[in-house]
Amino acid sequence: MREGKMANTLYDALFAPLEGSARRLLLLPDGRTLSGGAFAAMVARFAGALVAAGVGPGDRVAVQVAKSPEALAVYAATVAAGGVFLPLNTAYTAEEIGYFLGNATPRLFLCDGAKADALAPVAAAAGAQMLTLNGDGSGSFAAAAQGQPERFAAVPRGPGDLAAFLYTSGTTGRSKGAMLTHGNLLSNAAVLAEAWRFTAADVLLHALPIFHTHGLFVASNVVLLTGGAMIFLPGFDRDEVIRLLPQATSMMGVPTFYTRLLDDPRFNRQLVEHMRLFTSGSAPLLAETHLAFEARTGHRILERYGMTETNMNTSNPYDGERRAGTVGMPLPGVELKITDPSTGASLPQGEAGMIEVRGPNVFKGYWQMPEKTKEELRDDGFFITGDIGVIDADGYVSIVGRAKDLIITGGYNVYPKEIELLLDEQEGVLESAVIGLPHPDFGEAVFGVLVAQQGARLDPAAIMAGLAGRLAKFKQPKGLAVVDELPRNTMGKVQKNLLRDRFKAQFAG
């Protein structure tokens, strides 16, 4: 921060250093590069356009736009203008967008020109002004920014002020707007940059969406804070990733990125010999994938765990052992405990229970949902994550499942992960998902959904026999189904709610 200038916590740390910088910041797949200075000038013009559109401190700016340098600049510009950035999944329908705009009441809504006709009434109903920003950087918002100056004095904002709303993915119930402050985002970026040794020499291959915490905050903020560059891809395309990996030093991914790369023989040791780091998160990385990746490349993927509401909570160590099937230890400044889901009392080491976390990374609450906030965020600052986990004797945390996926059959608790791990070991099984289905006698019955390895034919009776000696009777699936693939959302999470819906009549009557 320069003398005489008021502070804007996040802008000063992430974006101000780019002003006038000739260093490359964004490397685009068509070979173009954008310097830090060019990006900062675009941010200034966009911030001017936001202010001209009436965006003031605390106002929400909602966007449903394709990933592009311009989309990233809207995030930076919103922060500079003192607003609250609200990115929305590009897959959401007009009806879903209607809910988000109605709930968040943004001053401004940016969407792709191709969707403008469908979304205009939705924006109008929420009282938001609508402008367009297309994937190629054109649109009415870009046009409005044209004449704006290339310098902008960032609006003062402190660590406790809101910087972003990210809506939870909402696989149960309605999505909630998680309120994240400048301090939440900056503290987590600083902790991750240090833990993962990011420097100005890094070139991160960025193929994640930027409407989600992983691509927007974990990936982009860490690189921006440390002065490196990003190969900025519109999405994950295996050919493009393989073509561009030689220019990268590091990559952050969801597990499906890594399984898709492993499916390609061009992805080999030589291709990634020069790489410094691969990280994984947002969904569980199977131990099998971790081991196959190491066997193929010599790299051990560094798995970490976080969520929209908390940013990142735990990480495997950079230098120490990266243990397959675990999410590592709490990051510096993060307190993590395992509690009894019904009483909230701490459980002894080694027992599975609710993961609760506290630290500067934890959000302020859900937007206009004080009841929900009170249910999940304790008065003492611990957030009840909804994830069930266990800590081993060396302090490594493993995620056993989501609390809502816990199966209660005949009064006994069954954690799906335990059964899934055994199913995955059976001959011909590629992967599995275990769910609870309504059952007239047991309340819920354990049910397994399987995907076969390529070319394999699964024999459910043989698979059941394979489990028989290894699992208590009540944990054994009462039925198995084979499907072509498991339903996953964009972040690679298996959508168990869809499976429960599809198979719900299995044990009816």
Q: How far is the CB of 351 from ligand AMP (least distance, A)?
A: 19
Considering only residues 167-196, where is the footprint of ligand AMP by CB under 6 A?
A: 168-169
Smallest distance, ligand AMP to C-beta of residue 402, A: 5
Contact 313, 195 (CB under 8 A): no
How far apart CA 348 and CA 340 sit, in angstroms, is: 10
Among 491, 494, 496, 500, binds ligand AMP (CB under 6 A): 491
Q: Decide if 185 contacts 164 (C-beta within 8 A).
A: yes
What part of residues 391-430 is at the interface with ligand AMP (CB under 6 A)? 399, 402
Residue 65's Cβ-side half-sphere holds a number of Cα atoms within 13 Å equal to 32
What single-letter amino acid sits at 382?
F
Query: Which residue lies nearer to ligand AMP by CB, 46 or 217?
Result: 217
Per-residue contact flags (x/-) with ligand AMP for residues 204 to 223, judged by CB under 6 A: ---------x----------
- Element housing 383 (H / E): strand 383-391
Q: CA–CA separation, 287 vs 405, rounded Å?
A: 20
Residue 233: count other Cβ atoms within 10 Å of its Cβ.
Answer: 18
Query: Closest distance between ligand AMP and the C-beta of residue 217, in Å?
Result: 10
494 binds ligand AMP (CB under 6 A): no
Burial readout 370-389 (b: 16 or more C-beta within 10 A, e: otherwise): eeebeebbeeeebbbbbbbb
Q: How far is the CB of 64 from ligand AMP (least distance, A)?
A: 17
What residue type is assigned to position 260 of the chain? R
Kindly give the residue spans of alpha helices, DSSP state H, lying in 298-383.
370-376
Site string for ligand AMP, 268-297 (x = CB under 6 A): -------------xxxx-------------
Render 259-293 in DSSP notation, one character per residue.
HHHHT-TT--HHHHTT--EEEE-SSPPPHHHHHHH
Calculate the alpha carbon distances from 425 to 399, 419, 463 in Å.
19, 10, 10
Tell which one of 14, 40, 81, 327 touches ligand AMP (CB under 6 A): 327
Q: Running DSSP on this structure, what letter comes out for residue 318? A: S
C-beta of residue 148 within 8 angstroms of C-beta of residue 102: no
Specify the residue, 183 or 306, whose C-beta has the smaller distance to ligand AMP: 306
The distance of closest approach from Cβ of residue 385 to ligand AMP in the complex, given in angstroms and rounded to an integer, is 6
Smallest distance, Å, CB 491 to ligand AMP?
A: 6
Using rule CB under 6 A, residue 486 touches ligand AMP: no
Decide whether 303 or 356 has the Cβ nearer to ligand AMP: 303
Q: Measured in whole angstroms, how far is the alpha carbon of residue 11 from the centre of its chain?
A: 22
Which is closer to ligand AMP, CB of 108 or CB of 218? 218
Question: How far is C-alpha 260 from the chain's CA centre?
Answer: 18
The residue type found at 384 is I
Nearer to ligand AMP, 63 or 229 (CB): 63
The DSSP call for residue 359 is S
Chain centroid to Cα 450, Å, comes to 25
Cβ neighbours of residue 340 closer than 8 Å, sequence gap 6 or more:
347, 353, 354
Nearest residue (CB) to ligand AMP, 129 versus 497: 497
Which CB sits closer to ligand AMP, 252 or 467?
A: 252
- Shortest Å distance, C-beta 338 to ligand AMP: 14
Kindly state the tokens that stand for 322. Answer: 């990266």
The residue type of 437 is L
Residue 141 or 367: the one with the smaller Cβ distance to ligand AMP is 367
Cβ closest to ligand AMP, residue 290 vs residue 475: 290
Q: Which is nearer to ligand AMP, 327 or 463 (CB)?
A: 327
Question: Binding string to ligand AMP for residues 296 to 315, with x set by CB under 6 A, is what?
Answer: -------x-xxxx-------
Question: In the sheet that 84-87 helps form, which strands lie side by side, from edge to edge?
Answer: 129-132, 108-111, 60-64, 84-87, 162-167, 177-181, 365-366
Does residue 385 touch ligand AMP according to CB under 6 A? Answer: yes
Task: Give min distance, CB of 137 to ligand AMP, in A.
Answer: 27
Least separation in angstroms between CB 452 and ligand AMP: 24
Residue whose CB is less far from ligand AMP, 12 or 303: 303
Tokens, residue 348: 């002894």
Q: Which residues are paired to 131 by β-bridges? A: 110
Q: How far is CA 362 from the centre of its chain?
A: 15
- The residue (of 161 and 376) whose beta carbon lies closer to ligand AMP is 376
Least gap, CB of 349 to ligand AMP (angstroms): 20
Residue with smaller CB distance to ligand AMP, 168 or 361: 168
Name the minimum Å distance from CB 218 to ligand AMP: 9
Place of tokens 């990115």: 87
Task: State the number of CA atoms in the 13 A half-sphere of 504 facing the CB.
Answer: 6
H or E element at residue 229: strand 229-232
Q: Least distance (Å) from ligand AMP to the CB of residue 449? A: 18
Q: What residues between 116 and 135 interact with ligand AMP by CB under 6 A?
A: none
**Taking the complex as a whole, how short is the minimal distance between the CB of residue 274 and ligand AMP, in angstroms?**
25
- Give the pair of three-digit tokens for residue 216: 């927007």
Size of the site for ligand AMP (CB under 6 A): 18
Positions touching ligand AMP (CB under 6 A) are 168-169, 213, 281-284, 303, 305-308, 327, 385, 387, 399, 402, 491
